[in-house]
Amino acid sequence: MNTHLLALQDFSQTQLQAFLDRAAVLKKEAQNGLRHQQLAGKKICMLFEKPSTRTRVSFEAAMYEMGGQVIFMSAKESQLGRGEPLKDTARVLARYVDALVVRTFGQEVVEELAHFSAVPVINALTDLHHPCQILSDIMTVIEQKGDPSELKITWIGDGNNMANSWIQAASVLGFSLTLACPTGYDPDPTILKAAQQQGKQPITLLRDPQKAIQDADVVNVDVWASMGQEDEAKKRLAVFQPYQLNASLLAHAADNAIVLHCLPAHREEEITEEVLEGPHSVAFDQAENKMHIHKAILEYTINGMV
């Protein structure tokens, strides 16, 4: 079977858990000096239409550490940038490589590539989802705090791609999620409704960040203006000000709460320097875990799940 990773909702609880468990094993093995070769002889093409530091380098490092090779292509330097159809691009690239890792704007782009690709397509961020990131975030939560279903997990800020993928993760993995977003900046309503209907624990959207963060074990924040929303950045600065994660908002969370930020962070906007660099922040462990989770994702999508 050709396993694409486009959105977390497409997977079962067992399958998402398998990615998390496998990443933890691969991380431990790498720390113990084991050299993995599961992807020897395999190649991926990374097709990126938006900038990236972590996702690009962690996927590339993951592939090399597993014995494989990477071809990176920025979309605007490819024939896509001159209008070559996605369906032709997908069918051609699938003749050369074993998986496509794609960062783009519309979710429909990764869906169309997946429809026409004979090899797995992995979503490395769209406007709607950031599924691989949320898997590394949950891996970090498990390492730091244990079973997510026993925790109060919150999302403070924009109902963006990250929020949508957290919502799907909560629904599939069966943990509760409390979001606080300003009016007009809700997560995707279809995704939220489906997750609320299917999730085993409540997924709640509030307006008040203080109420949402009350006694939280895990606090998630992200930028107020995502890639592609640069024109709205000034307006968003004013709207989101009450949602800034600063020491006084964080004081409402549990004493030993952890703070997650997928990075890049805009200090003194969505998070203060004090909080990002403070004792609650696990943002850099979270960034490291992207590489470990990407190894599991590449192994399972290319070689098949064991």
Binding residues for ligand NVA (CB under 6 A): 125, 130, 160-162, 222-223, 226-227, 262
Q: At its nearest, how many Å lie between ligand NVA and the CB of residue 155? A: 12
Q: Which of 205, 219, 262, 271 binds ligand CP (CB under 6 A)?
A: 262
- Which token pair is 250? 């964080």
Give the residue with the Cβ less far from ligand NVA, 94 or 110.
110
Determine if 53 is a binding residue for ligand CP (CB under 6 A). Answer: yes
User: How far apart, in whole angstroms, are the C-alpha atoms of residue 14 and residue 9?
Assistant: 12
Contact call for residues 224 and 270 (beta carbons, < 8 A): yes
CB 217 within 8 A of CB 154: no
Residues 190-249 interacting with ligand CP (rule: CB under 6 A): none
Question: Which of these, 156, 269, 274, lies nearest to 210 by C-alpha position?
Answer: 156
Q: In angstroms, what is the minimal distance from the CB of 97 to ligand CP?
A: 20
Considering only the stretches 34-42, 53-61, 86-94, 193-201, report the one whose residues sit in contact with ligand CP under the rule CB under 6 A. 53-61
Q: How far is the CB of 264 from ligand CP (least distance, A)?
A: 6
Number of residues interacting with ligand CP: please give it, by CB under 6 A. 10
Encoding tokens for residue 60?
């590339």
**Residue number with the smallest Cβ distance to ligand CP:** 55
* Least Cβ distance, residue 229 to ligand CP (angstroms): 14
Question: For residue 180, what are the CA distances in angstroms to 183, 209, 251?
Answer: 10, 5, 16
Residue with tokens 């244990």: 146
Q: Which does 270 bind (CB under 5 to 8 A by kind): ligand CP, ligand NVA, none?
A: none
Site for ligand CP in 145-184 (CB under 6 A): none
- H or E segment to which residue 261 belongs: strand 258-261
CA proximity to 138, closest of 275, 274, 17, 2:
17
244, 217, 221: which is closest to 160 by C-alpha? 221
Convert residues 61-100 into a mask of x (bound to ligand CP by CB under 6 A) and - (unbound): ----------------------------------------
State the distance between the two ends of the chain, measured CA to CA, in whole angstroms.
Answer: 13
Interface with ligand CP (CB under 6 A): 52-56, 125, 133, 262-264
